[in-house]
Amino acid sequence: MTMHYMAQDIGGVNPIVAMPFTSSGEIDEVSFVRLLEHLATTGVQGTTLFGIASEFPKLEDSERNRLAQMFVSTLAGNPLYRAMSVTDHSTEVAVKRARYYASLGVDALMLLPPFFLSPNPQAIQAHIFAVLEAVDIPVMVQYAPGETGLPITPEQLAAVADRYPHAVFKIECNPPVDYTREFLVKAPQASVLNGYAGLYMLQMLTAGGKGVMPGCSFAEVYVRIYQHWQRGETAQAEALHQALLPYIQRWMTHCEYIIQVEKTILMKRGIIATDYCRKPGWQLSSEDHQIIDRFLTDFQL
């Protein structure tokens, strides 16, 4: 029996899947499957492929299609929801891709609004509406102005929520808390997730958010924080989040930095074979490696 997910089911800890490569920069399918099987055991509620942390701009179309099929089949029968991100800058292509992913049996989509060559707000809105109209599964609409250079007001986002009950919102402006509060006043029915490595995870949950979308290399830590929060153990949740903060604050200073760090953590944990990132990427220093080793010890990973 397949579970049909509704917008309100999309929450909890939903990590973005990293993309394992061989040391020569080819897709490492064995590590990819092992990573997915690992994530299925961590207690996460869902997982998403082709986010920024999946290095999606560095993939060929043929690789993306193959990975999409492997993602759906590897996680078939697992209790976690499977989401895939539509990142195309053309509305027509995004609609086709959304329909294709839905036809594969994915449980939800994520949608990165187009930002290349700065389309006007009406064009962006039309793009978002077109993808939402193309499918009936939940669609997580991303608001990442730091990455896209594109501001969307809480009013504009609330208009999307009113019109499309299957829309979910991934808010990762920096900081996201006031924006989220303002948005939820205008769209109290909406489901909000936060990205940005969970830097604001607890404030966002307090503000009415439903979950967090971090990287996938230490998903267990986010699961522990989320479980404390769900049980009303606020002090424990805060203590664990405070212990995590110095690390993620350092690593989130650049997107390519945390992508490389997450890969290196996955390799050091024996989950993927190499920590290769497709170029251009980020070079870790020996100090970075010491900090990662300390992190693995601190969090018993």
Residue range 182-192, pLDDT digits in tens? 999 999 999 99
Q: Which tens digits make up the pLDDT trace of 228-247?
A: 999 999 999 999 999 999 99
Q: What mean pLDDT is reported for the chain?
A: 95
> CA-CA distance, 208 to 205, in Å (whole number)?
5
Asked whether residue 1 carries a pLDDT value surpassing 50, the answer given is no
Distances (CA, A) of 273 to 64, 171, 267, 270, 279: 20, 32, 6, 7, 18
Q: Which tens digits make up the pLDDT trace of 109-131?
A: 999 999 899 898 889 889 999 99
Q: What is the pLDDT of residue 268?
A: 98
Contact 36, 17 (CB under 8 A): yes
Asked whether residue 137 carries a pLDDT value surpassing 50, the answer given is yes
Percent of the chain with pLDDT over 70: 99
Q: What is the pLDDT of residue 196?
A: 87
Structure tokens, 115: 């930002």
Q: What is the pLDDT of residue 151?
A: 81
125, 56, 196, 192: CA torsion to nearest 10? 40
Q: What are phi and psi of 21, to 5 degrees?
A: -120, 160
Asked whether residue 148 carries a pLDDT value surpassing 80, the answer given is no
> CA-CA distance, 249 to 247, in Å (whole number)?
5
Q: Which tens digits make up the pLDDT trace of 250-273?
A: 999 999 999 999 999 999 999 999
Q: Which tens digits make up the pLDDT trace of 93-105?
A: 999 999 999 999 9
Render the burial of 67-90: b for 16+ CB within 10 Å, e for the rest.
Answer: bbebbbebbeeeebbbbbbbbbee
Q: What is the pLDDT of residue 72?
A: 98
Asked whether residue 248 carries a pLDDT value surpassing 70, the answer given is yes
Asked whether residue 177 carries a pLDDT value surpassing 90, the answer given is yes
Q: Which tens digits make up the pLDDT trace of 190-227?
A: 999 998 899 999 999 999 999 999 999 999 999 999 99
> CA-CA distance, 6 to 137, in Å (whole number)?
7
Q: What is the pLDDT of residue 60?
A: 97
Q: What is the pLDDT of residue 2?
A: 54
Q: What's the one-letter identity of residue 63?
A: E
Q: What is the pLDDT of residue 83?
A: 98
Q: What is the pLDDT of residue 120?
A: 87
Q: Which tens digits make up the pLDDT trace of 20-55?
A: 999 999 999 999 999 999 999 999 999 999 999 999
CA-atom Rg of the chain in angstroms = 18
Q: Which tens digits make up the pLDDT trace of 62-77?
A: 999 999 999 999 999 9
Contact 294, 266 (CB under 8 A): no
Contact 274, 22 (CB under 8 A): yes
